[in-house]
Amino acid sequence: MNLRRFFHRWRADAELLQEIDTYLTEEIAENMARGMSPEEARRQAHLKFGNPQRVRESLWQQNTITTIDTLWRELKYAVRTLARTPGFAAIAILVMALGIGGNVALFTVVRSVLLKPLPYRDADRLFALYEHNANSPDSYSFLPVDAGSFWEWQRATQSTAEMAMLSPWQDYSVSADGGKLPEKISAGWCSWNFFPTLGITPALGRSFTSDDDRPQAMETAVLTYSFWKRRYSGDPEIVGKIIFLDARPYTVVGVLPASFTFSSAFGGSKIQVWTPVQREAPHALLTTYEDHEFLVLARLRKGATLPRLVDQLNAIQAQIQATHPDPAVKGAVIGRTMLDDVVYSYKTSLYALLAATGCVLLIACMNVAGLLVARSAARSKDLAIRAALGGSRLRLLRERLVESLILSAAGGALGLLLAWIALGWLVHVRGDMNRVEAIHIDGTVAAFTVGVIALCALFSGLVSALSSNGTHVMVALQESSRSHSGGTARARLRKVLLVLEVGLTVVLLVGAGLLLKSYQRLRSTDIGVPEENVLTMRFSLPEVRYKEPVQQVAFFEQLIGLVRAVPGVQAAGLVSTPPGEGWNGDRMMQVVEHPPLPKREVPDVMVRGAEPGYFSAIQIPLLRGRIFTLDERLQRANVAVISRSAAQILFPGEDPIGRHLRSEEGGDVHEVVGIVGDTRWDVAQPIRPTLYWPIYGNHGTAATIVIRSTHDVESLASPVQRVISQLDPDLPVSDVTTLREAIGKSTIDSEFSSIVVVAFSVIALALAAAGLYGVLAYLITQRTNEIGVRIALGAQREQLLRLMLVDGLKPALFGLALGLMASAGTARLIRSMLYETRPLDPAVFCSVVVALLLVAMLACIVPAWRASRLDPAQALRSE
Amino acid sequence: MGKKAQSDGEMLKGTLDMMVLRTLVTGDAHGHTIAKVIERSSEDVLEVEQGSLYPALHRLEDRGWVSSYWGASENNRKAKFYRLTPAGKKQLVRETNRWRQMARAIALVMGEKVPVKGGTE
């Protein structure tokens, strides 16, 4: 009501004019009726009415909301003052935009990824359960669950929780049909109650029933929305149709809603098809207590809590361990919320980045506050005169706040734009991150932006307002250029701000240095083979069409022969998984010639199937003995080549050649024929002992083609794929990538964090340098006169230079000390993000000190040098 | 039009609104009529200051106690007529009651016998 009136003041005024006019006419008519002459009648009427202007003014005032009115006036005034110094305004706005933009972007990410509940019904009641791998570092203590334990857990906890099991690392080859190429897709096996547990109902058809989830059931599948849209063009009649997965017919029973997403600490975000686990998994896997192949999700019933559930499961698990004494059987259970499970690996780095942007924002605010202080110093006379004329202190304070509000608001608007661009970039480069699809700028983010703007405005406005001592009007008015008491007080405040600014910058620089060093360590880690010019691609033979090992081997051999003949291919080989591309299989190995070890002490080695040409193709050096030969295949494939570290662990102090290894799981025995160099399965993980046996035999159906070329190895991808499709048009090829890209993918988190933090710390350093320069330049202008006197009295230029330099560098040194102390604390917080780098790495700390001192010197030397070159006559005349 | 008799003509704070509302009981009127009626009925003791009448009318309209429409005045000029709304009627009753109480209290203090009879002394 009031606001409406406020904005309709013009209309009310127009109406009033009309009313006044009517009044006067009526009064004149009446007067004339009384017998007055027309002029007298008019005069009397006007006399009686009085001054119409006053009536209008009083109505105008009545309709005015004073605060809005004055605020509006102040806003106009502030915009005008800022427009008079566009350079200052542009710098301040840009600085604010960087600070606010970075914060808004990171806040959006943290909120969307780490804080927003997962898109399931009552997502806070969903938990992920693991077996507890007690003697592993933090991130590896969550061990997937074996099916045997799962069934017992499920049976025992029916009253407290609904439990579902899944295996997210499956895949199928989708046969070529309807003109579509064959392709390999990620898939998940799940227990029939998986979707009901999450609270998901399919968009089409139904989800699985317990009848589908039986070994003897018909093959059924549930498709994800995107797969249905992409592969089957959103066919509305898909439910009930047959699709061919691994050349077997599956009935589609349902399609998941578009909003459905799934991810876990162990992947799953790329899953396109879900199938019932008891129908799909081999019987052995469904009954074992030793093979940890499944993830377990639990929805707690009302009143149940995670600690109570874990207690209950611990008792069961201890029982299981007692009855199955095997090192693979763990005796304890560990759980976390499903949300925690999904975002576990991003938590530290995202919070660290948010903290970094927070530092930048603080620095930005201090910088803008510093600039405002300098401005108010320049305007101190103007302000003093206004105070003397009766301008209230509050009014002057408000003016200052309005000014900083305009700067922050403009900065915030620009910052929001920057954040939007940054988020687009982030979603693009961090496709690997779980929940990256949930990142959106929404109402909460907008509210956050407004809040940040208000805080920045308040901070920088208050600092600058409090620095101007409005109470001492006389001092300011009298302050001629001969005295500079007020000026130094202001400079002191700016110096304090600078100390803090430099301190924060040092913290950021140290963080950036540590992350950068860690990233470099990571990238320079030798995975055991040259990374350049190696192309890899995966395929796996569907067992329906390649049932017999003979068929498989024949295909492998034919294929690799054709690949080697492709022009440009220097060497090629087959392996189950190349270095740097993942875990993919390990076995417990006993040395046959040694006395049997107790189960707990049997060494665990990585196992790879390889084709004889693989070693020379990827350039793993042969250290002793020989590589297995081409005819050591099928029944004669019981030979093995081991890595150097495997030789050291399995055969300490003896010659392994000619000895035999027995696999604990299968019981098959392999003779060691050679020793090769070590490789890493993951660039960020320590070397593990590895055993290679012939892929021609030993149940190898999945393989990676490794191709080495002298240059442009990427260009070989399509000719090689063509060769494969000539051989088997229905065989999909997946994960076509260069070795370098594959390794880059596993270091992307480290790369991303270090790039972002380095960028922020460079900004911070630039801001701090600008601050240093500004304060010293300001101080020197204040002291021009004094310097002139000193020079006139015979002070040496070098002496003056030193004096000024020390004055300017002091805040930098204090800030440096403060920052180093703070960094010692904060560096520990990012310990988990560091790879082979200690949090208190002396090299990093030293380079930060040197870099900061250099930049500070540079920032100070220019004004100091200028001061020492002053012409004393001119300086003294500058009064 | 006793312009010089200042204290006589000045109105007690808040009574203008009440009197305007009272005037409108007899029918819709525009500003000039309202002022005239008040002056006439007070036997020209009260003089309505235009500087406060028009803001008062706008205020009353804002509060929803009167509504307004444009019509033609006696002399065929475009005039803004005011009309008492039901809420305005209630307000009038409330203010009249309060006024009576006040007048009586003042009369009692001044040692007069008169139980209730408004007006300035």
> With 70 as the cut, is the pLDDT of residue A831 above it?
yes
**Stretch A471-485: mean pLDDT, rounded?**
54
pLDDT of res. B118: 46
The rounded distance, in Å, linking the Cα atoms of A128 and A144 is 10
Categorize the per-residue pLDDT at A148 as very low, low, confident or very high, splitting at 50, 70 and 90: very high
* Average model confidence (pLDDT) across chain B: 80
From residue A423, give the alpha-carbon distance in Å to each of A43, A46, A418, A449, A864.
73, 69, 9, 15, 42
Q: Do A62 and B74 touch (CB under 8 A)?
A: no
Residue B18 belongs to some domain of the structure: yes
- The residue ranges of DSSP E strands in A148-228, in sequence order, are 161-174, 183-190, 204-205, 220-223
Taking alpha carbons only, the member of A748, A777, A729 closest to residue A183 is A729
pLDDT of res. B119: 45
Neighbours of A179 (CB within 10 A): 5
Residue B73 tokens, joined: 């005045």
The rounded distance, in Å, linking the Cα atoms of A669 and A678 is 22
pLDDT of res. B120: 44
Residue A13 tokens, joined: 């005024």
Q: Which amino acid is at A510?
A: V
Taking alpha carbons only, the member of B9, B77, B50, B21 closest to residue A59 is B50
Instruction: State the SS3 of A470-523.
Output: CCCHHHHHHCCCCCCHHHHHHHHHHHHHHHHHHHHHHHHHHHHHHHHHHHHHHH
Residue B11 belongs to some domain of the structure: yes
Q: What phi and psi values does residue A742 have, to the nearest 5 degrees?
A: -60, -40
Q: Which residue has the higher pLDDT, A697 or A240?
A: A240
Residue B120 belongs to some domain of the structure: no
Categorize the per-residue pLDDT at A644 as very low, low, confident or very high, splitting at 50, 70 and 90: very high
A715-724: Cβ within 8 A, 24+ apart: A715/A568, A716/A535, A716/A566, A716/A568, A716/A569, A717/A535, A717/A537, A719/A566, A719/A567, A719/A568, A720/A535, A720/A537, A720/A563, A720/A566, A720/A569, A721/A537, A723/A559, A723/A562, A723/A563, A723/A566, A724/A539, A724/A559
Q: Do B59 and A62 touch (CB under 8 A)?
A: yes
Residues of B in contact with A23 (CB under 8 A): 31-32, 35, 50
Q: Do A55 and B32 touch (CB under 8 A)?
A: no
pLDDT of res. A482: 46
The rounded distance, in Å, linking the Cα atoms of A495 and A491 is 6
Residue A487 tokens, joined: 């000026």
Q: Which residues make Cβ contacts (< 8 Å) with residue A810, sequence separation at least 6?
A: A495
> With 90 as the cut, is the pLDDT of residue A412 above it?
yes
Instruction: Encode pLDDT of A600-609 as tens digits.
Output: 788 889 999 9
| Three-state DSSP class for residue A588 | strand
Give the number of C-alpha atoms closer than 13 A to the C-alpha of residue A777, restricted to the C-beta side. 13
ipTM, two decimals, is 0.78
Residue A297 tokens, joined: 């999700």
pLDDT of res. A417: 94
CATH number at residue B22: 1.10.10.10
Nearest to B80 among A19, A51, A59 (CB): A19
Q: Do A22 and B54 touch (CB under 8 A)?
A: no
Interface test with B, best of A59, A60, A63, A64 (most B CBs within 10 A): A59
pLDDT of res. B11: 59
> With 90 as the cut, is the pLDDT of residue A324 above it?
no
pLDDT of res. A399: 80
Any A CB within 8 A of B28 CB: no
Any A CB within 8 A of B40 CB: no
Any A CB within 8 A of B55 CB: yes
pLDDT of res. A563: 94
The rounded distance, in Å, linking the Cα atoms of A442 and A437 is 14
Entry field: residues in chain A = 879
Q: How far is B12 from chain A (nearest CA, A)?
A: 19
From residue B97, give the alpha-carbon distance in Å to each of A58, B10, B65, B93.
29, 22, 17, 6
Residues of B in contact with A54 (CB under 8 A): 51
Going by the DSSP 8-state scheme, the letter that residue A111 receives in this structure is: I
Categorize the per-residue pLDDT at A85 as very low, low, confident or very high, splitting at 50, 70 and 90: confident
Q: How far is A1 from chain B (nearest CA, A)?
A: 8
From residue A444, give the alpha-carbon distance in Å to each of A116, A362, A426, A427, A434.
11, 21, 20, 19, 21
Strands A690-694 and A639-643: antiparallel
In this structure, of A487-501, A695-709, B35-49, B63-77, the range with the lowest mean pLDDT score is A487-501
Q: Which residues make Cβ contacts (< 8 Å) with residue A783, sequence separation at least 6?
A: A484, A867
From residue A502, give the alpha-carbon distance in Å to each of A293, A323, A779, A809.
51, 62, 18, 11
B63: closest chain A residue by CA: A1
Backbone region of residue A565 per phi and psi (left: phi > 0; alpha: psi in -120 to 50; beta: other values): alpha
Of A216-220, A426-430, B2-6, where does the model show the most confidence? A216-220
Residue B119 belongs to some domain of the structure: no
User: How much is the CA Rg of chain B, to the nearest whole Å?
Assistant: 15
> With 90 as the cut, is the pLDDT of residue A246 above it?
no
Residue with tokens 């803090």: A500
Residues of A in contact with B77 (CB under 8 A): 21-22, 25-26
Domain total for chain B? 1
Residue A756 tokens, joined: 């972002």
Nearest to A49 among B50, B58, B75 (CB): B50
Q: Which helix (H) or strand (E) holds A648?
A: helix A644-650
**Stretch A236-254: mean pLDDT, rounded?**
92
> With 70 as the cut, is the pLDDT of residue B101 above it?
yes
The rounded distance, in Å, linking the Cα atoms of A792 and A693 is 89
Backbone region of residue A241 per phi and psi (left: phi > 0; alpha: psi in -120 to 50; beta: other values): beta
Q: How far is A59 from chain B (nearest CA, A)?
A: 5
Any B CB within 8 A of A42 CB: no
Instruction: Encode pLDDT of A836-850 as tens digits.
Output: 888 889 999 999 999
- Contact yes or no for A646/A605 (Cβ under 8 A): yes
- Contact yes or no for A252/A243 (Cβ under 8 A): yes
Instruction: Encode pLDDT of A10-63 as tens digits.
Output: 888 888 888 888 888 888 888 888 888 889 988 988 888 888 888 888 888 877
Instruction: Encode pLDDT of A272-319 as tens digits.
Output: 999 999 999 999 899 999 888 899 999 999 989 999 999 999 999 999
pLDDT of res. A874: 78
Q: Do B52 and A1 touch (CB under 8 A)?
A: no
Q: How far is B121 from chain A (nearest CA, A)?
A: 25
B31-41 and A9-33 are packed helices; what angle lies between their axes, rounded to 10 degrees? 50
Q: How far is B96 from chain A (nearest CA, A)?
A: 25
Residue B117 belongs to some domain of the structure: no
**Stretch A463-473: mean pLDDT, rounded?**
64
> With 80 as the cut, is the pLDDT of residue A489 above it?
no
Residue A476 tokens, joined: 């300011």
Q: Do A25 and B49 touch (CB under 8 A)?
A: no
Q: Which residues make Cβ contacts (< 8 Å) with residue A714, sequence separation at least 6?
A: A535, A738
Query: Exposed, middle or buried by CB within 10 Å (0-12, 13-18, 19+), for A157?
Result: buried
The rounded distance, in Å, linking the Cα atoms of A765 and A778 is 20
From residue B42, give the alpha-carbon distance in Å to each of A527, B47, B55, B120.
106, 9, 21, 10
Nearest to B54 among A25, A29, A55 (CB): A55
A28: closest chain B residue by CA: B75
* Average model confidence (pLDDT) across chain A: 87
> With 70 as the cut, is the pLDDT of residue A469 above it?
no
- Contact yes or no for A713/A390 (Cβ under 8 A): no
The rounded distance, in Å, linking the Cα atoms of A6 and A576 is 77
Q: Which residues make Cβ contacts (< 8 Å) with residue A37, sequence separation at least 6?
A: none
Instruction: Encode pLDDT of B57-90 as tens digits.
Output: 888 888 899 998 988 877 787 888 999 999 999 9
Residues forming beta bridges with residue A831, ordered by sequence position: none
Any A CB within 8 A of B35 CB: yes
Residue B84 belongs to some domain of the structure: yes
Any B CB within 8 A of A55 CB: yes
pLDDT of res. A197: 95
pLDDT of res. B8: 46
- Contact yes or no for A674/A626 (Cβ under 8 A): yes
- Contact yes or no for A769/A858 (Cβ under 8 A): yes
Categorize the per-residue pLDDT at B121 as very low, low, confident or very high, splitting at 50, 70 and 90: very low
Interface test with B, best of A9, A11, A23, A65 (most B CBs within 10 A): A23
Any B CB within 8 A of A58 CB: yes
* DSSP per-residue string spanning A762-812: HHHHHHHHHHHHHHHHHHHHHTHHHHHHHHHTT--HHHHHHHHHHHHHHHH
Domain residues for the domain of B14 are 3-109
Residue B79 belongs to some domain of the structure: yes
Categorize the per-residue pLDDT at B4 as very low, low, confident or very high, splitting at 50, 70 and 90: very low
Nearest to B79 among A1, A22, A30 (CB): A22
- Sign, CA torsion B62/B67/B71/B76: negative
Strands A702-708 and A534-540: antiparallel
Q: Which residue has the higher pLDDT, A89 or A204?
A: A204
Q: Do A21 and B50 touch (CB under 8 A)?
A: no
Query: Buried b vs exposed e over A240-263: b needs ≥16 C-beta within 10 Å?
Result: eeebbbbbeebebbbbbeeebbbb
Residues of B in contact with A19 (CB under 8 A): 30-31, 54, 79-80
Q: Do A22 and B78 touch (CB under 8 A)?
A: yes
A549-565 and A717-727 are packed helices; what angle lies between their axes, rounded to 10 degrees? 140
- Contact yes or no for A74/A399 (Cβ under 8 A): yes
> With 80 as the cut, is the pLDDT of residue B10 above it?
no
The rounded distance, in Å, linking the Cα atoms of A364 and A372 is 12
How many CB pairs below 8 Å do chains A and B form together? 65
Instruction: Encode pLDDT of A194-216 as tens digits.
Output: 999 999 999 999 999 999 999 99
Q: Which amino acid is at B33?
A: T
In this structure, of A651-660, A706-715, A865-874, B27-36, the range with the lowest mean pLDDT score is A865-874
Q: What phi and psi values does residue A738 have, to the nearest 5 degrees?
A: -85, 160
The rounded distance, in Å, linking the Cα atoms of A728 and A717 is 17
pLDDT of res. B6: 41
Categorize the per-residue pLDDT at B44 as very low, low, confident or very high, splitting at 50, 70 and 90: confident
B74: closest chain A residue by CA: A26
pLDDT of res. A229: 92
Residue B17 belongs to some domain of the structure: yes
